[in-house]
Chain A
Amino acid sequence: MAAISRSESPPGTERPRWRWEALRPTPRFRRQILRGLLVVLIFIGIVAGLALLFGISIIQYTLAGFVVGTIVVVAAIGLTLIYGIRGFANFAYGELMTLGAYVALFANLLLGASLPWGVVLAFGVLAAVGVLLEVLIFSRLEGRGPVPPIVASVGVSLIIQNGIRAVVGTGQWNFAVTAIQDIVIVPGLGIHPVRGITTLVVGVSFMLSVHIMLKYTNLGKAMRATADNLELAKATGIDTKRVTYAAWAVSCAFASTAGVLLGLGGVISPTTGFDVLLLVFAAVILGGIGSPYGAMLGGLVVGLSQEMSVPLLIWLGRPDVIGLEHATAYKVAIPFIIMIGVLLLRPWGIAGRQPAFGRRAFFVERLSRALSRKTTLAKKVKRDETGEGLVAIDTGLLTNIGFYVSVSIIFAVLALGFNIQWGYTGLFNAGVAGFFLIGAYVTAIAITLPAPPIVIAGIPVYPGHLGGYHLPFAAGALLAMFASGAAAALVALPTMRLRADYLAIATLAFAEIVRIFAINLESVTGGTIGIILIPRPVEFRPPDPFLNTAAIVGIGALILLVLLFVLQFIAESPWGRVLRAIREDEEATMALGKNAFRYKLQAFALGGALMGLAGSLFAVTLAYVEPTISFAPAVTFSVWVMVIVGGSGNNRGAILGAFLIYGLEFLSVQLKDFAPAALKDTIFYIRLIIVGVLLILLILFRPTGILPEKKRVLR
């Protein structure tokens, strides 16, 4: 199965072979066939066992798993190729998939071409985009480690995603293909014969063509050699530049096809690709980073495990078992949990599982349902309480500015946390939003009054939430710091000893898992509505928006000042010096007698605790928390930009960055009223595009930020 992973033929041990010899059944080949058969048999055994337990419907789920898995495989192959050759996790890959789907859609709907022609067009366009990305951005980041390209790829992803929103709009689209009746084994879970079978056929042919390319063509061999050892490949006379371009072209072309397949299975929207990106990452990690064959295995495992876990989750959801709410919604979390487990046991991959689909369907459905409910309910409750809007912000400019400052302070605290982790210690946290969320919810639960479920005319409008402990704000904030800090330590534990990009992916997955729980564990979190009526630390009666905002700003500013003082003290101490040493060279730091692992854990937990504190401030500033928008991955990306713009490794820089970048957002909100009608709806997306461009430009030309890290002159 793991046929040609790079590690199997160390240089020097493989004798040169004639081309035709590869076709002869060597003992190794026979062993692989046997191993493959064994795996198939075990798999059939598992399916049969599950069928006995949960009924014959498992076959339907298995088929669905294969379809989902196939799409993930196509995407994972493309992602892993670039991972292997360029050595970084391409966070823009989701958007490249989306872009492919939109190009095909454009050909399909506007040019009137049939979908296969759309696929061909998308294939070509995306291949060109890939080469362009390498030429313009990523070739300039060579040799700067795995993180700068990740940051640049997030910039690319912001530009593409919001570019699509600005140009095409946020609507959902479908390809114009004739629908044929589903084949139904279990009612409601049909496999669409055209879409399902097309997906399988395309996926299998892609896998075969990758195999042929890697094994039998000069380009493929050159790719493997380059992925294995760039310097050696160069010295051997391989044109590694050309190989890199080819890898980008193939990778992005695969992304386009994966995007089209995603569109066939569901709808096309600006987040079509991003929604499955984590699953693709999981597949890549499960199979072993940089190994196309591992990606195939990982993708299938991901798809199958996600879909096949459904009957188990349904069973868990039964009231007589544990009565898990919205049980099947958790199928998207299972792969991440498995992935983190795999990172713990076998970080080099092999064996694991993860779901790929259904998440979007689930989100869209629940979002639209919840949004309509939420607005009515929120209004109702607010009126009951005060007769005025609780969170309604006076349009007075002063209050607006107060609001801007208070949110900037929250972002500044987040940025300080990220600065400790990344700026000082070099630990890259892609799940800032998750720790932020934990802090916000822990505080909300600790300091609110009891909130029972609300049922109006027999319709449940609010599921209630855990808590109602009505603790003072300080206690809530301390609990939040503790919870987020502990969560950070827990997530870091399995990945601390690995490369920066593993930590990035694990934390990103963690943030998504946390969010899935926040949305679905209704009796604890209030579901999509969240938790409302969070008391402010200081409340003026009758409510005065200006005074309330001023009080929040005052408390926030005080906390920020104290934080800056304390952080400056500990980060510039001998302890902080060890953190910076680890950032520069972990191995050398260990050889100087420092337990690097312990320091990294401390720094990561401290950063997590600060993010929890930020969440706590957020909860009392807005007076409500909700899981869908406030804690989306975009929050994490904003914090990165803030720290990088301000100057990583410099606490004052992190704060400055937060005020500047959030200022941009604030400005875009204020400008909306003055913007020409044509721009009104797109101004938000334009802002995010600007952030993306800024991110790329900074990482390329001024990686030290506005306030660079200072040289510490010791006396």
Chain B
Amino acid sequence: MGDDSILAARDVRKAFGGIQAVDDCTLSVSKESVTGLIGPNGAGKSTLFNIIAGLYRPDGGEIWFDGTRIDGLPPYEIVRLGLTKTWQIPHELRNLTVLENLVLAAKGNAGEHLLNLFFRPYRVRRDERRWRARAREVLALTQLEGLANEHAKDLSGGQKKLLELARALMSDPPLVLLDEPVAGVNPTLAGNLMDLIERLRRGGTTFFLIEHDMNVVMNRCDRVIVMHQGRKIAEGPPGIVKADPVVIESYLGG
């Protein structure tokens, strides 16, 4: 765990019933990298993401984000610290519009506090205006402008994926966890999306993503971490990891 790491997990464990989903997993993600997390189905990748985001409480171990220990914190506090996550299966807020979905991802919007509505009407209006503008900006980035005032439930599967990403980017967080960001997105759009991620990375954002599409992993990630049966089994630049016999064994030998 070098000093350049923004996220570090140490001996993280989580069991469901008799199944050890994450088993003494230790890994770290470097600042301003695009780090891929791969592994066969059931390796514990999504569970690990959910633990990092605070949606599951780990059975043991520590998680550090940018110098703060975050395991055991509720998800909303972790988001406030600057770590956002997308869902593998889109969790769009169905009967809200796309724009509303985005504005909801705002950080510190004064109007979301009941008392501010009455006592700080000016700040409420200013914040709301600012966040709506920001939402338009992110919509443009993710090519969703045309759908701003559609109900989120009416989007296609790929568009919902984009909406997930857009929400995660709204508050300009230092670290974004992406759970299969391009699965179900058409190849051209997926390419544009990965270009966008690359641009944002150069701007200082770190991405940690789960992906099954090996093209994306091999061509777009700086580093790759491989999980198998709840543990990290390999780590390194994509080319080296790809040739690692342990990795090949775990993918092919199951």
**Is the beta-carbon distance between B93 and A585 smaller than 8 angstroms?**
yes
CA distance A587 to B56 in the complex (A): 11
| B79 interface residue per 8 A CB criterion | yes
Query: Are A13 and B107 in contact, with the CB atoms below 8 A?
Result: no
Q: Which residues 108-129 in B have Cβ within 8 Å of A in the complex? A: 109-114, 117, 124, 127-128
Any B CB within 8 A of the CB of A165: no
B95 touches A709 (CB 8 A): yes
Q: Mark B144-177, 1 if CB is under 8 A from A, else 0.
A: 0000110100000000000000010001000000
- In the complex formed, the residue of A with least CB distance to B114 is A575
A535 to chain B, nearest CB (A): 32
Chain B residues in 8 Å Cβ range of A574: 103, 109-112, 124, 127-128
Q: Which residues 1-50 of A have a CB within 8 angstroms of B?
A: 7, 10, 13
Q: Given the complex, which residues of B lie within 8 Å of A588, measured CB to CB? A: 87, 91-93
B86 to chain A, nearest CB (A): 9
Whether the pair B149, A713 counts as a contact (CB closer than 8 A) is yes
Q: Is the CB of A587 within 8 A of B55?
A: yes
Q: How large is the interface on B (under 10, 10 to 19, 20 to 34, 35 or more residues)?
A: 35 or more
Q: In the complex, A446 Cα to B104 Cα: how many Å?
A: 42
CB nearest neighbor in A for B101: A581
By the criterion CB–CB under 8 Å, are B111 and A584 in contact? no
Set A10, A584, A585, A602: member contacting B114, Cβ < 8 A: A602
What residues on A are CB-neighbors of B75 within 8 Å? Answer: 590-591, 593
Q: Check B105 for interface membership: any CB of A closer than 8 A.
A: yes
User: Distance (Å) between the CB of B218 and the closest chain A CB?
Assistant: 29
Residues 681-715 of A, flagged 1 when their CB comes within 8 A of B and 0 if not, give 00000000000000000000000000001011111
CB-CB under 8 A for A580 and B117, given A574-B124, A574-B128, A593-B76: no
Q: Which residues of chain B come closer than 8 Å to A573, judged between CB atoms? A: 111, 117, 124
Query: A602-B114, A714-B103 known; A591 and B95 CB under 8 Å?
Result: no
Is A589 in the interface zone, CB < 8 Å from B?
A: yes
Contact size class for A? Answer: 20 to 34
**Chain A hits for B110, CB < 8 A:** 574
Give Cα A306 to B85, complex, Å: 49
Are B85 and A577 within 8 A (Cβ)? no
Q: Are A591 and B18 in contact (CB under 8 A)?
A: no
B248 within 8 A of A: no
Q: Are B97 and A592 in contact (CB under 8 A)?
A: no
B66 within 8 A of A: no
Q: Given the known A-B contacts A13-B18, A569-B117, are A711 and B104 also in contact in the complex, defined by CB atoms under 8 Å? A: no
Taken together as a complex, chains A and B put the C-alpha atoms of A591 and B173 apart, in Å, by: 13
A596 contacts B by Cβ under 8 Å: yes
Q: Which chain A residues border B111 with CB–CB below 8 Å?
A: 573-575
B96, A581: Cβ atoms closer than 8 Å: yes
Assess whether A585 is in contact with B91, with CB atoms less than 8 Å apart.
yes
A578 at the interface (CB under 8 A from B): yes
In the assembled complex, the CB of A492 is this many whole angstroms from the nearest CB of chain B, namely 16
CB-defined contacts of B17 to chain A, threshold 8 Å: 7, 10, 13
Query: Which residues of chain A have C-beta atoms less than 8 A from B182's C-beta?
Result: none
Q: Judge whether A580 and B74 touch: CB under 8 Å.
A: no
Mask, A116-129, CB within 8 Å of B = 1, is 00000000000000
Q: How far is the CA of A410 from the CA of B85 in the complex (A)?
A: 45
B132 close to chain A: CB less than 8 A:
yes
A177 at the interface (CB under 8 A from B): no
Give the number of A-B contacts (CB < 8 Å): 104
| Cross-interface CB contact of B149 among A10, A575, A593, A711, cutoff 8 Å | A711
In this assembly, does B199 line the interface, its C-beta being within 8 Å of a C-beta of chain A?
no
Q: A575-B117, A711-B149 are in contact. Are A592 and B167 (CB under 8 A)?
A: yes
Q: Are the CB atoms of B95 and A714 closer together than 8 Å? A: no
Chain B residues closer than 8 Å to A713, beta-carbon distance = 97, 149
In the assembled complex, B180 has its CB within 8 A of some CB on chain A:
no
Give chain B residues whose Cβ lies under 8 Å from the Cβ of A587.
55, 91
Distance, CA A594 to CA B94, complexed state (A): 17
Distance, CA A113 to CA B112, complexed state (A): 67
A565-606, CB under 8 A of B: which get 1 and which 0?
000011001110110110011011111111110000010000
Nearest B residue to A597 via CB reads B74
| Cα distance, A713 to B97, chains bound together (Å) | 7
For B193, list chain A residues within 8 Å (CB): none
Residues from chain A with Cβ under 8 Å of B76 in the complex = 590-596
Which chain B residues numbered 59 to 113 have a C-beta less than 8 Å away from chain A? 74-76, 79-80, 84-85, 87, 91-97, 99-100, 103-105, 107, 109-113
CB distance from A254 to the nearest CB of B (A): 31
A712 CB contacts on chain B under 8 angstroms? 96-97, 100
A482 to chain B, nearest CB (A): 16
**Cα–Cα distance between A593 and B132 once the two chains are bound (Å):** 17
CA distance A593 to B105 in the complex (A): 7
Q: Smallest CB–CB gap between B155 and chain A, Å?
A: 14
| Cα A585 to Cα B171 with chains together (Å) | 20
Chain B residues whose CB sits within 8 angstroms of the CB of A7 once the complex forms: 17
The yes or no answer to B227 lying at the interface (CB within 8 A) is: no
- Say yes or no: A570 contacts B97, CB within 8 Å: no
What residue of chain B has the Cβ atom nearest to residue A588's Cβ?
A: B91
B151's nearest neighbour on chain A, judged by CB, is A711
B53 touches A (CB below 8 Å): yes
CB distance from B174 to the nearest CB of A (A): 14
Report the minimum CB–CB distance from B201 to chain A (whole Å).
22
Q: In the bound complex, do residue B93 and residue A591 qualify as a contact, i.e. CB atoms below 8 Å apart?
A: no
Decide yes or no: A575 and B91 within 8 Å by CB, A593-B105, A713-B149 being known contacts: no
- A570 contacts B103, CB within 8 Å? no
Considering the chains assembled together, what is the distance between the CA atoms of A73 and B75 in angstroms? Answer: 41
* Residues in A neighbouring B107, C-beta threshold 8 A: 593
In the complex, A574 Cα to B130 Cα: how many Å? 13
Evaluate whether A580 and B149 lie within 8 angstroms (CB atoms) in the complex, with A590-B74, A596-B76 already known.
Answer: no
Residue of B with least CB distance to A594:
B76
B131 to A: closest C-beta gap in Å: 8
Give the CA-CA distance A709 to B153 in the complex, in Å: 15
Q: Which residues of A contact B80 (CB under 8 A)?
A: 593
Query: A578 contacts which chain B residues (CB < 8 A)?
Result: 104, 112
Contact between chains at A584 and B100 (CB < 8 Å): no
Q: Which residues on the A side are within 8 Å of B53 (C-beta)?
A: 591
Q: How far is the CA of A585 from the CA of B127 in the complex (A)?
A: 24
Q: How far is the CA of A7 from the CA of B167 in the complex (A)?
A: 36
**Which of A574, A577, A584, A712 neighbours the largest number of chain B CB atoms within 10 Å of its CB?**
A574
A592-B104 contact given A578-B112, A581-B96, A712-B97, CB 8 Å threshold: yes
Check B114–A570 contact: CB distance below 8 A: yes
Q: Which residues of B have CB within 8 Å of A594?
A: 76, 104, 112
Candidates A13, A569, A577, A715; contact of B104 at CB < 8 Å: A577
- Which residue of chain B has the shortest Cβ distance to A584 in the bound complex? B93
Which chain A residues lie closer than 8 Å to B84 at the CB level?
A: 591, 593
A residues 311-351 touching B (CB-CB < 8 Å): none
Which residues of chain A are within 8 angstroms of B94 by Cβ–Cβ distance?
Answer: 584-585
Which residues of A lie under 8 Å from residue B104 when comparing CB positions?
A: 577-578, 581, 589, 592, 594
In the complex, how many angstroms separate the beta carbon of A217 from the nearest chain B beta carbon? Answer: 26
Flag if B114 contacts A577 (CB, 8 Å).
no
Which of B85, B104, B117 has the most chain A CB atoms inside 10 A of its CB?
Answer: B104
B148 proximity list for chain A (CB < 8 A): 714
Chain A residues within an 8 Å CB radius of B151: 711
Q: Can you name the residue of chain A whose Cβ is closest to the Cβ of B91?
A: A588
Q: In the complex, what distance in Å separates the CA atom of A16 from the CA atom of B93?
A: 42
A sample of 23 inter-chain contacts (CB < 8 A) reads A574-B103, A574-B112, A575-B111, A575-B112, A577-B112, A580-B93, A580-B95, A581-B96, A584-B95, A585-B91, A587-B55, A587-B91, A589-B104, A591-B75, A591-B79, A591-B91, A593-B76, A593-B84, A595-B74, A709-B95, A711-B149, A714-B99, A715-B132
Report which A residues bind B (CB closer than 8 A).
7, 10, 13, 569-570, 573-575, 577-578, 580-581, 584-585, 587-596, 602, 709, 711-715
A-B pairs, 7 with minimum CB distance: A574-B111, A593-B79, A588-B91, A584-B93, A10-B17, A590-B75, A574-B112
Other A-B contacts than A585-B91, A715-B132, 11 sampled, CB-CB below 8 A, are A10-B19, A574-B110, A575-B112, A578-B112, A584-B94, A585-B92, A585-B94, A592-B105, A594-B104, A714-B99, A714-B149
